[in-house]
Amino acid sequence: MKTLSLKLDDTIFDEAENITHQLKLPRNRYINEAVNLYNLFNKRQILKKKLLKESRLSRKDSMDILREFEQLVDEN
């Protein structure tokens, strides 16, 4: 496990303290879970952007192939 020095805005710290107290959860565990959730969120955002980019790149090829299939069907 890594040790980390962290500066939080006062309002964020106060909210976190209030919530950890109500949940009877150690501050360290709460922050670990929060960072983990944020990591998962950002991984999904990165994947979404990558998939959209790849989809745009393959769109033209897919349309070309579709036209070729339509021509084959029309010929028969």
Does residue 20 contact residue 30 with C-beta atoms inside 8 Å? yes
> What pLDDT was estimated at residue 71?
84
* Residues 3-51: tens digit of each pLDDT: 999 999 999 999 999 999 999 999 999 999 999 999 999 999 999 999 9
pTM over 0.85: no
Which residue did the predictor score with more confidence, 57 or 10? 10
Cα of 65 vs its chain's centroid, Å: 32
Q: How confident is the model at residue 68 (pLDDT cuts 50, 70, 90)?
A: confident
